[in-house]
Amino acid sequence: MDAVLLSDFAKVKAGETALDLGTGTGIIPVLLSVRTEGSHFTGLEIQEELSYMARRSVQYNGLEDRIDIVCGDLKKADTIFGKGVFDVVTSNPPYMIGTHGLKNPSLTKAIARHEICCTLEDVVSQASRVLKDRGRFYLVHRPFRLAEIFLQLQKARLEPKRMQLVYPYVDREPNMVLIEACKGGNPRITVERPLIVYEAPGVYTRDILEIYHLVP
């Protein structure tokens, strides 16, 4: 769901190019290519197995002319692609630092969930470097790291402009946060209305059904 919500939250305008840092199996570039009018999308993934799966997904959906998948380290994104080349950067990065949560015994899953190959600072700093001036960065993360997220964004000249908290139920604490930041933007943030996932166990709210295009 994280990737689906981020791809709905992110805006890629006609003619713009976008990079997804830590793309995994490529779900975000695939969804953005369908949901937006962007001209080209690139996914960067360090794990060869996942980048292979992402390429297969791109081919299966017939999107080879709109999406490239690159196997490489996101900490070197500015070296791989150059500085100031993308209009939009997205990321659904590892949420947990070493002391948070149980680490999955599968290295592939552990790398996706824990900051093993990169840190939040790596993701944010590289997003800033590859973005054009006034380019936009879209991030999905966990609210318990919100203070750190804002600190790293502003350190990298990425000014938070929009934020939306995601709640599993209306009476629970939020478990996700969606953020849009602008490179070199002026200080001013809009907090959008909360997004509630479930009305009852196993029953999505209308907002979620609309995001998944399941409303008749």
How far apart CA 118 and CA 132 sit, in angstroms, is 22
User: Where in 46-148 does DSSP place strands (E)?
Assistant: 67-71, 86-91, 131-141
* Proportion of the chain above pLDDT 70, given as a percent: 91
Whether 188 and 216 have beta carbons less than 8 Å apart is answered as no
* Proportion of the chain above pLDDT 90, given as a percent: 88
State yes or no: pLDDT of 99 exceeds 90.
no
Q: Which two tokens stand for residue 205?
A: 């709210």
95-99 LR contacts (CB < 8 Å, sep 24+): 95/141, 95/142, 95/145
What's the whole-number mean pLDDT along residues 52-69? 97
According to the model, what pLDDT value does residue 63 have?
97
What's the whole-number mean pLDDT along residues 60-76? 97
Give residue 185's identity as a one-letter amino acid code.
G
Domain ranges of the chain: 2-211
What's the whole-number mean pLDDT along residues 186-198? 97
Would you place residue 49 in the very low, low, confident or very high pLDDT band (cuts 50, 70, 90)? very high
Would you place residue 117 in the very low, low, confident or very high pLDDT band (cuts 50, 70, 90)? confident
> What is the CATH architecture of 2-211?
3-Layer(aba) Sandwich (3.40)
How far apart CA 25 and CA 109 sit, in angstroms, is 12
Per DSSP, the three-state class of 194 is: coil
According to the model, what pLDDT value does residue 96 have?
62
Angle in degrees, CA 141, 48, 67, rounded to 5:
70
What's the whole-number mean pLDDT along residues 100-119? 54
Would you place residue 101 in the very low, low, confident or very high pLDDT band (cuts 50, 70, 90)? very low
State yes or no: pLDDT of 114 exceeds 80.
no
What's the whole-number mean pLDDT along residues 82-110? 72
pTM: 0.91
Would you place residue 28 in the very low, low, confident or very high pLDDT band (cuts 50, 70, 90)? very high
- Adjacent-strand bridge partners of 17: 40
